Amino acid sequence: MDAKTDGGVEETAPGAEDAAGAGVTYPYSTAPAPGETIELAPGVHWHRTPLPFKLNHINLWLIEDGDGWIVVDCGFGLDDTKEAWRRIFAEPMEGRPITRIIVTHYHPDHMGLAAWLAAISGAEVMMTEIEWQTAQDAFDGVTNDVTPWTAFYRSHGLDPSYDETIRLRGNTYRRGVPELPAATVPMKDADEIALGGHDWRVIVGRGHAPEHAALYCQDLNVLISGDQILPRITPNISLRYFDADADPLGLYLASFAPFRPLPADVFVLPSHNLPFYGLGPRIDQILRHHDDRLKTVLDNCDTPVTAADLIPHLFKRKLDAHGVSFAMGECLAHIRHLELKGRLRRLTNDDGIHRFVRIDRGPARS
């Protein structure tokens, strides 16, 4: 199952690293240690907490709000994360209260301690409605029943030997999100929200999460991009069994449109890696990255192949069973995009396995 969108650890798809190139620069070479902060723009502070997997950190943001602080994203539900927050409360936050909590999307490293922070502060939690509903579904296990996941992956060629590994994972969402807030205050695309004396515009992106909220402040020329735009890795884009007719990759690529008009020198604060300048060049790099992956899929579909057959072509390093589930989701997202573009034909034999074959040789993305 796709661990980012269906309840597991927050991690990029294996092999999706895309080194930042020309036009992307980093004004900071090191990140703050857990329990410390760096002020990046007037009243906007950078905080980082640990994650218990290969992608070992998440960037969190604090915005000064009069006599208090606004928190943007909350960290994974770990005791180490709580301890980092306690140090933040005592020193950088100078004992001033949390006045509001904003969650960019429902994934565990962003949502994990939202309920805990809300309980100890009394602050309201804001997120988009679809992300809140998805968080509830993931927490309740609605999208974590492993049987349809294993059947879905088998129908796309994954060896049944992976079934037990997927089954043993269970509801991994609760490992990172031990509890949910009692309620949230909804926000939506294009909302203008007053945060710390400035207006911040909500920019919704899709594909990685159903209604991911980035935040842009024109006064400060700052974009909190969440996972939607990262400088050195690309977020996991996966096709899911309960939404198998969707086009998550198409949604993700289309989501760059509202970011294009932002100033060329906007300061981008991503959830992973380092804050950077070069939003436009980075978007171009991500588009090229997915163009290359789409071309790789097409180049390996001269004869009918399954999604599982494509994993070694898209992911060159050795994958553990957990990584294979990420890879399946990514392969299926790229296959589905090409199928909807009329570039691949689906063939389903009596064995119930879906295979795909190339139709023509035009550009992979339009």
> Out of 16-25, 172-181, 341-350, which region has the weakest mean confidence (pLDDT)?
16-25
Residue 332 gets the label, from left (phi > 0), alpha (psi -120 to 50) or beta, of alpha
**Topology, domain 38-358:** Metallo-beta-lactamase; Chain A (3.60.15)
Decide: pTM greater than 0.75. yes
Mean pLDDT, range 192-214, rounded to an integer: 98
Q: How many CB atoms within 10 Å of residue 85?
A: 24
Residue 28 CA to residue 267 CA, distance in Å, equals 12
Given a cut of 60, whether residue 278 has pLDDT beyond it is yes
Contact status, residue 251 vs residue 235, Cβ threshold 8 Å: no
Cα–Cα distances (Å) from 124 to 117, 181, 184, 203, in that order, read 10, 9, 7, 20
Given the DSSP bridges, would you call strands 354-358 and 344-348 parallel, antiparallel or unpaired?
antiparallel
Q: What is the pLDDT of residues 36-83, one digit of tens each?
A: 999 999 999 999 999 998 889 999 999 999 999 999 999 999 999 999
Residue 131 CA to residue 105 CA, distance in Å, equals 6
**Closest to 57 measured CA to CA, from 109, 6, 108, 20:** 109
Instruction: Return the axis-axis angle of helices 307-314 and 321-340, rounded to nearest 10°.
Output: 110
Residue 314 CA to residue 294 CA, distance in Å, equals 9
Residue 241's φ and ψ, nearest 5 degrees, are -60, -35
Q: How much is the pLDDT for 364?
A: 53
SS3 45: strand
Q: Angle 130-136-140 (CA atoms, 0-180°, nearest 5)?
A: 145
Q: How much is the pLDDT for 146?
A: 77
Contact status, residue 227 vs residue 208, Cβ threshold 8 Å: yes
Given a cut of 90, whether residue 165 has pLDDT beyond it is no
Residue 233's φ and ψ, nearest 5 degrees, are -135, 160
pLDDT class of 363 with cuts at 50, 70, 90: low
Residue 7 CA to residue 172 CA, distance in Å, equals 5
Q: How much is the pLDDT for 19?
A: 45
pLDDT class of 188 with cuts at 50, 70, 90: very high
